[in-house]
Amino acid sequence: MARVTLVDSGTGNLFSLTEAFRRAGADVRVAISGDDVSRASCLVLPGVASFSAVSRGINGLRGALLAAVEDGVPLLGICAGMQVLFASSDEGPGEGLGLIQGRVRALQADVVPHMGWSPLRTSGDPWFEGLPQGAMVFFAHSFAAPADVQGVAALADHGGPFAAAVRRRRIFGVQFHPEKSGRLGAGILRGFLREAGVVRSA
Protein backbone atom coordinates (compact mmCIF):
# COMPACT_ATOMS: atom_id res chain seq x y z
CA MET A 1 0.00 0.00 0.00
CA ALA A 2 1.22 3.50 -0.84
CA ARG A 3 2.18 5.63 2.13
CA VAL A 4 1.51 9.37 2.01
CA THR A 5 2.73 11.87 4.61
CA LEU A 6 0.67 15.03 5.04
CA VAL A 7 2.68 18.04 6.18
CA ASP A 8 0.90 19.80 9.03
CA SER A 9 1.46 23.54 8.58
CA GLY A 10 -1.48 24.35 10.82
CA THR A 11 -3.43 25.67 7.82
CA GLY A 12 -4.89 22.62 6.09
CA ASN A 13 -7.97 20.48 6.43
CA LEU A 14 -6.06 17.31 7.17
CA PHE A 15 -9.13 15.20 7.90
CA SER A 16 -10.74 15.61 4.46
CA LEU A 17 -7.47 15.03 2.66
CA THR A 18 -6.64 12.01 4.80
CA GLU A 19 -9.98 10.43 3.93
CA ALA A 20 -9.52 11.25 0.22
CA PHE A 21 -6.10 9.59 0.07
CA ARG A 22 -7.35 6.58 2.00
CA ARG A 23 -10.14 6.18 -0.55
CA ALA A 24 -7.43 6.38 -3.24
CA GLY A 25 -5.68 3.43 -1.61
CA ALA A 26 -2.98 5.13 0.46
CA ASP A 27 -1.91 4.75 4.06
CA VAL A 28 -1.71 8.28 5.53
CA ARG A 29 0.62 9.72 8.16
CA VAL A 30 0.91 13.32 9.41
CA ALA A 31 4.28 15.09 9.71
CA ILE A 32 4.65 17.59 12.54
CA SER A 33 8.45 17.60 12.77
CA GLY A 34 11.46 17.66 10.49
CA ASP A 35 12.19 14.05 11.44
CA ASP A 36 8.70 13.05 10.27
CA VAL A 37 9.35 14.75 6.93
CA SER A 38 12.78 13.13 6.59
CA ARG A 39 11.27 9.66 7.00
CA ALA A 40 8.56 10.22 4.38
CA SER A 41 8.49 8.49 1.00
CA CYS A 42 5.74 10.74 -0.45
CA LEU A 43 4.82 14.23 0.83
CA VAL A 44 1.65 16.30 0.50
CA LEU A 45 1.51 19.96 1.58
CA PRO A 46 -2.08 21.21 1.97
CA GLY A 47 -3.15 24.75 2.79
CA VAL A 48 -6.54 26.44 3.04
CA ALA A 49 -5.22 29.75 4.36
CA SER A 50 -3.02 32.52 2.95
CA PHE A 51 0.42 32.20 1.38
CA SER A 52 1.88 34.01 4.40
CA ALA A 53 0.18 31.67 6.88
CA VAL A 54 1.40 28.53 5.12
CA SER A 55 4.90 30.02 4.79
CA ARG A 56 4.99 30.67 8.54
CA GLY A 57 3.54 27.24 9.25
CA ILE A 58 6.34 25.40 7.46
CA ASN A 59 9.23 27.48 8.80
CA GLY A 60 10.32 24.73 11.17
CA LEU A 61 10.02 22.12 8.41
CA ARG A 62 11.52 24.10 5.51
CA GLY A 63 14.98 22.56 5.61
CA ALA A 64 13.62 19.02 5.85
CA LEU A 65 11.18 19.63 2.99
CA LEU A 66 13.89 20.99 0.69
CA ALA A 67 16.23 18.15 1.59
CA ALA A 68 13.52 15.56 0.91
CA VAL A 69 12.78 17.06 -2.51
CA GLU A 70 16.50 17.16 -3.27
CA ASP A 71 16.62 13.45 -2.45
CA GLY A 72 13.82 12.76 -4.94
CA VAL A 73 10.87 12.40 -2.56
CA PRO A 74 7.69 13.38 -4.48
CA LEU A 75 5.83 16.42 -3.15
CA LEU A 76 2.27 17.55 -3.93
CA GLY A 77 1.14 21.04 -2.94
CA ILE A 78 -2.62 21.70 -2.73
CA CYS A 79 -4.25 25.17 -2.93
CA ALA A 80 -2.08 27.50 -0.81
CA GLY A 81 0.28 24.54 -0.52
CA MET A 82 0.82 24.77 -4.28
CA GLN A 83 1.38 28.52 -4.03
CA VAL A 84 4.15 27.98 -1.48
CA LEU A 85 6.02 25.89 -4.06
CA PHE A 86 6.83 29.28 -5.61
CA ALA A 87 9.14 31.86 -4.05
CA SER A 88 6.70 34.69 -3.29
CA SER A 89 3.15 35.98 -3.63
CA ASP A 90 1.27 39.23 -4.12
CA GLU A 91 -0.90 38.14 -1.20
CA GLY A 92 1.59 39.21 1.42
CA PRO A 93 4.96 38.64 3.04
CA GLY A 94 6.52 35.25 3.44
CA GLU A 95 9.10 33.06 1.79
CA GLY A 96 7.97 30.18 -0.34
CA LEU A 97 10.02 27.08 -1.06
CA GLY A 98 11.19 28.38 -4.44
CA LEU A 99 10.90 24.95 -6.05
CA ILE A 100 9.15 26.35 -9.13
CA GLN A 101 10.09 29.66 -10.74
CA GLY A 102 7.58 32.49 -10.69
CA ARG A 103 5.45 34.59 -8.36
CA VAL A 104 1.84 34.01 -7.31
CA ARG A 105 -0.44 36.84 -8.49
CA ALA A 106 -3.87 38.20 -7.55
CA LEU A 107 -6.72 37.02 -9.76
CA GLN A 108 -7.94 39.70 -12.14
CA ALA A 109 -11.67 39.01 -12.12
CA ASP A 110 -14.87 40.89 -11.37
CA VAL A 111 -15.73 38.42 -8.61
CA VAL A 112 -13.05 37.32 -6.16
CA PRO A 113 -12.55 34.85 -4.57
CA HIS A 114 -12.96 32.23 -7.24
CA MET A 115 -15.25 29.88 -5.37
CA GLY A 116 -16.84 26.85 -6.98
CA TRP A 117 -16.53 24.47 -9.92
CA SER A 118 -14.50 25.28 -13.05
CA PRO A 119 -13.24 23.19 -15.98
CA LEU A 120 -9.63 22.12 -16.44
CA ARG A 121 -7.65 22.32 -19.68
CA THR A 122 -4.95 19.70 -19.32
CA SER A 123 -1.66 19.67 -21.24
CA GLY A 124 -1.34 15.94 -21.90
CA ASP A 125 0.73 15.21 -18.81
CA PRO A 126 0.32 11.50 -17.93
CA TRP A 127 -0.66 12.59 -14.42
CA PHE A 128 -4.12 13.35 -15.88
CA GLU A 129 -4.38 10.24 -18.03
CA GLY A 130 -8.03 9.31 -18.48
CA LEU A 131 -9.29 12.70 -17.32
CA PRO A 132 -11.58 14.29 -19.92
CA GLN A 133 -10.87 17.81 -21.15
CA GLY A 134 -13.16 20.19 -19.33
CA ALA A 135 -13.31 18.06 -16.19
CA MET A 136 -14.89 20.10 -13.41
CA VAL A 137 -12.96 20.56 -10.16
CA PHE A 138 -13.55 22.70 -7.08
CA PHE A 139 -11.63 25.94 -6.45
CA ALA A 140 -11.54 28.35 -3.50
CA HIS A 141 -8.85 31.03 -3.95
CA SER A 142 -8.09 34.68 -4.71
CA PHE A 143 -4.49 34.24 -5.90
CA ALA A 144 -2.88 31.90 -8.41
CA ALA A 145 0.27 31.27 -10.38
CA PRO A 146 0.22 32.83 -13.88
CA ALA A 147 -0.60 30.70 -16.89
CA ASP A 148 2.95 31.00 -18.27
CA VAL A 149 4.92 29.67 -15.29
CA GLN A 150 7.18 26.70 -15.85
CA GLY A 151 5.70 23.23 -15.72
CA VAL A 152 2.03 24.05 -16.27
CA ALA A 153 0.11 20.77 -16.41
CA ALA A 154 -3.42 22.25 -16.49
CA LEU A 155 -5.06 25.65 -16.88
CA ALA A 156 -8.34 27.10 -15.66
CA ASP A 157 -9.98 30.49 -16.13
CA HIS A 158 -11.34 33.13 -13.77
CA GLY A 159 -10.95 36.61 -15.22
CA GLY A 160 -8.25 35.08 -17.43
CA PRO A 161 -6.22 31.86 -17.51
CA PHE A 162 -4.12 30.74 -14.57
CA ALA A 163 -2.08 27.67 -13.64
CA ALA A 164 -4.49 25.14 -12.16
CA ALA A 165 -1.80 22.46 -11.91
CA VAL A 166 1.98 22.40 -12.24
CA ARG A 167 4.58 19.69 -12.41
CA ARG A 168 8.36 19.83 -12.31
CA ARG A 169 9.85 16.35 -12.22
CA ARG A 170 8.64 14.94 -8.86
CA ILE A 171 7.17 18.25 -7.65
CA PHE A 172 3.42 18.53 -8.24
CA GLY A 173 0.89 21.23 -7.42
CA VAL A 174 -2.85 21.79 -7.81
CA GLN A 175 -4.65 25.07 -7.15
CA PHE A 176 -7.98 23.29 -6.81
CA HIS A 177 -9.14 20.90 -4.08
CA PRO A 178 -9.11 17.29 -5.34
CA GLU A 179 -10.52 16.13 -2.00
CA LYS A 180 -13.63 18.22 -2.72
CA SER A 181 -13.86 17.30 -6.42
CA GLY A 182 -15.66 13.99 -6.23
CA ARG A 183 -14.78 11.06 -8.46
CA LEU A 184 -12.56 13.12 -10.76
CA GLY A 185 -10.62 14.49 -7.81
CA ALA A 186 -10.07 10.96 -6.54
CA GLY A 187 -8.72 10.02 -9.97
CA ILE A 188 -6.30 12.95 -9.86
CA LEU A 189 -4.99 11.81 -6.47
CA ARG A 190 -4.57 8.26 -7.78
CA GLY A 191 -2.75 9.69 -10.80
CA PHE A 192 -0.41 11.55 -8.48
CA LEU A 193 0.35 8.36 -6.55
CA ARG A 194 1.06 6.58 -9.82
CA GLU A 195 3.28 9.33 -11.25
CA ALA A 196 5.03 9.71 -7.90
CA GLY A 197 5.99 6.06 -8.20
CA VAL A 198 4.45 4.95 -4.92
CA VAL A 199 1.92 2.65 -6.62
CA ARG A 200 2.36 0.60 -9.76
CA SER A 201 -1.01 1.50 -11.19
CA ALA A 202 -3.96 3.74 -10.32
**From 42, 79, 114, 195, the catalytic residue:** 79
**179 an active-site residue?**
yes
Contacts by 65-71, CB closer than 8 A, 24 or more apart? 65/7, 65/37, 65/97, 66/97, 66/99, 67/38, 68/37, 68/38, 68/40, 68/43, 69/97, 69/99, 69/170, 69/171
Strand order in the sheet with 171-174: 26-31, 2-7, 43-45, 75-78, 171-174, 161-168, 152-157, 121-122
Distance (Å, whole) CA 38 – CA 118: 36
**91 an active-site residue?**
no
**From 91, 114, 141, 179, the catalytic residue:** 179
**From 42, 158, 177, 195, the catalytic residue:** 177
Residue positions annotated with a catalytic role: 79, 177, 179
